[in-house]
Homo-oligomer: A and B are copies of this chain.
Amino acid sequence: MPVFFSAHSAGLIMAVSTMIYNRFPATLNTDVTRVSVICARQVGVDHHLLDTKKLSSQGKRLSESLSKLVQLTIETPYRRNLRNHNWVLVNEIVEKHNAPAKSPKEVIADKWRELHGSMDWEDLLDPLHPLLRREIVKYGEFAQATYDAFDFDSFSEYCGSCRYNRNKLFEKVGLDGSGYIVTKYIYAMSHIEMPQWLEKSHLLDTWSKDSNWMGYVAVSDDVETCRIGRRDIVVAWRGTVSPAEWYEDFQREMEPIGAGDAKVEHGFLSIYSSKSKSTRYNKSSAAEQVMKEVKKLVEFYRRQGEEVSLTITGHSLGGALALLNAYDAAVAIPDLPVTVISFGAPRVGNIAFRDELQRLGVKTLRVVVKQDLVPRMPGVVFNEALQLFEEITGTLEWIYTHVGVELKLDINSSPYLKRRFNPLGFHCPETYLHLVDGFSSSSLTFRSDARRDVALVNKCCDMLVDELRIPPSWYQLENKGLVRNEHGRWVKPTRDPEDIPSPIGEENAFPSPNSDPEKLSRIQH
């Protein structure tokens, strides 16, 4: 079984030994206090000793932590020689400074179904079709916008909200040319204590103590609709930049979803479906908010005789919520083409959940960076690779599994990225977008004609080689938003009233997509 000894080998063996011990403690001689765990490493075979006495007391939790550690040890060091970065690279980048950062928009009206997975992206991923590449980047930038506009400032009374109202969002995050209009903001809360999930203000009097802005619904304008061949509704879910919480959080319990055997991670489900009468922004759950808006939009455009699609995107936790959302939408709105394009998303549910999504016709493209740890969670121990052990474990319905088709990216493919172990950098959405932009095929090197601005990678992490002279984590406000008033005092300006989150404002959301008739006629002729 050499396959099992590749990626998750140590975790697997440890998990199995743990399970054996937990299920059949009597069969083990108590004098045998050590279980030898063999890890097939890249460099050879190593031995780890595991005290089973501790296992019996601390149980599953310890074995998980250990397997996690071993996992990291196996995968961490890049044994490849680092390339000698040189000035050719730098000059290349400097030359690009004067080239447009966007690819031209081509009409995909007759190809959109394939690009959205109607044939499960067969023959489109490796090599990656240029039109699909652009669509993936487009949706990825919608997901990225949920980070760029989020108020992370714990000294702001609006911490955890979006810094701009929905009419200004795309303009403020540089997506004014996207061809989409934001129609609704989504807020979420969680009844379950999730470490580091909720961004909270240090202050007492805040806009909300329970809820965070969790994403938005947008819809293509007439010009874009014409280009892409249907009215496209987008839901973009915000995730979490720091992967740290997932380490603490993985391998939690599952909860049933729907009437069948489908089960999903209960933390994700809690964020997606929690509500409370006592809150201002979650009298309805994120699920209810988003589904109400999507249904409204679908009905509105279908009534006008238009073809409608739903594309749900998200990074990390946002990718998990996208799947739950897709399940909901596919159940609720028959015949609606539902596509999920997720980035660095963890596993969400069990095999029955995956099968349900498949049965419902939900198409999922999972973009995954090989070195990113988050997509391995939860279920580092109990994942789809365990299927062959079903007869031993009998826990198939508790095994986490990934859904859909994978587009695998590799940090090592880009000459612009540092090679050293950087779990935050590997997980950052801008790293994903950079690698998608440069991906030709698994056998080819980074596209030399990739146009996306490489500097964006370092927005919130330290991934670019020093020669590029882009400082790490450069995306920041001048003086953290403080401004000097007319008396020379540094003050935090009050937020523009129209940018203050209003639960009433959100209730009145309704599509009013505008369009540029001139542009429209240009694209139609």
Most chain B CB within 10 A, of A97, A98, A100, A490, is at A490
- Chain B residues with CB under 8 A of A491: 97, 455
A31 within 8 A of B: no
Chain A 264-291 against B: per-residue CB contact (8 Å), 1 yes, 0 no?
0000000000000000000000000000
Nearest chain B CB to A316 CB, angstrom units = 23
A487 and B100 within 8 A (CB): yes
Complex Cα gap A427–B477 (Å): 26
- List chain B residues, Cβ under 8 A from A466: 155, 202-203
Residues from chain B with a CB closer than 8 A to the CB of A456 are 490
| Interface secondary structure of A, over-half rule | loop
Copies of this chain, whole number? 2
Interface residues of A in 432-479 (CB under 8 A from B): 453, 455-456, 466, 469-471, 474-479
Could you tell me how many residues of chain A have their Cβ less than 8 Å away from some Cβ of chain B?
Answer: 38
A522 within 8 A of partner (CB)? no
A153 at the interface (CB under 8 A from B): yes
- Other-chain residue from B470, B479, B480, B482 in contact with A482 (beta carbon distance below 8 A): B470
Bound: A102/B475 CA distance, A:
33
| A489 adjacent to B155 (CB under 8 Å) | no
Query: Given the known A-B contacts A476-B478, A476-B480, are A453 and B489 also in contact in the complex, defined by CB atoms under 8 Å?
Result: yes
Please name all residues of chain B whose beta carbon is closer than 8 Å to the beta carbon of A174 when the two chains form the complex.
Answer: 484, 488
Q: Contact: B203 with A487, CB < 8 Å? A: no
Chain B CB within 8 A of A30 CB:
no
Return A490 CB to nearest CB of chain B, in Å.
4
Q: Does A96 touch B at the CB level, under 8 Å? A: yes
* Nearest CB of chain B from residue A461's CB, rounded to whole Å: 13
CA distance A489 to B469 in the complex (A): 14
A43 to chain B, nearest CB (A): 32
Q: A97 to B480, Cβ gap below 8 A? A: no
Which of B157, B474, B488, B490 is in CB contact (< 8 Å) with A480? B474
Contacts of A102 in B (CB 8 A): 488
C-alpha spacing A470/B481, complex, angstroms: 10
Separation of A478 and B480 alpha carbons in the complex (Å) = 8
Could you tell me the distance in whole angstroms from the C-beta of A48 to the nearest C-beta in chain B? 37
- B residues less than 8 Å from A153 (CB atoms): 471
Q: Which of A114-137 contact B (CB under 8 A)?
A: none
Contact A485 B97 (CB under 8 A): yes
Q: Determine how close the nearest CB of chain B comes to the CB of A145; give it in whole angstroms.
A: 15
Among A474-513, those with CB < 8 Å from B are: 474-482, 484-485, 487-492
Q: A331: shortest Cβ distance to chain B, in Å?
A: 40
- Nearest CB of B to A288, in Å: 34
Is A476 in contact with B479, judged by CB distance below 8 angstroms?
yes
Q: Which residue in chain B gives the minimum CB-CB distance to A202?
A: B466
Pairwise interchain contact B489-A482, C-beta atoms closer than 8 A: no
List residues of chain B with CB within 8 A of the CB of A96.
489
CB distance from A440 to the nearest CB of B (A): 22
Contact with B along A93-112 (1 / 0, CB 8 A): 00011111110000000000
CA distance A491 to B492 in the complex (A): 28
- Whether A471 and B475, one on each chain, are in contact in the complex, defined by CB atoms closer than 8 angstroms, is no
A156 contact set on B, CB distance < 8 A:
469
In contact, B470 and A155 (Cβ under 8 angstroms) = yes
Q: What separation, in Å, do the CA atoms of A174 and B153 have in the docked complex?
A: 26
- Chain B positions within 8 Å of A470 at CB level: 155, 482, 490, 492
Chain A residues 300-356 with CB under 8 Å of chain B are: none
Complex: A162 Cα to B4 Cα, angstroms = 58
User: Which 6 A-B pairs rank lowest in CB-CB distance, beginning with the nearest?
Assistant: A478-B478, A455-B490, A474-B480, A101-B488, A155-B471, A471-B480
Excluding A97-B489, A453-B490, A469-B492, 6 further A-B contacts by CB distance (< 8 Å) are A97-B491, A155-B466, A455-B490, A471-B481, A475-B479, A476-B477
A interface with B by C-beta (< 8 Å): 96-102, 153, 155-157, 174, 202-203, 453, 455-456, 466, 469-471, 474-482, 484-485, 487-492
The 25 sampled A-B contact pairs (Cβ below 8 Å) are A97-B485, A97-B489, A98-B485, A99-B487, A100-B487, A101-B488, A101-B489, A155-B466, A155-B469, A157-B469, A174-B484, A203-B469, A453-B488, A455-B491, A469-B492, A470-B492, A471-B480, A471-B481, A471-B482, A474-B482, A476-B476, A476-B477, A476-B478, A476-B480, A477-B478
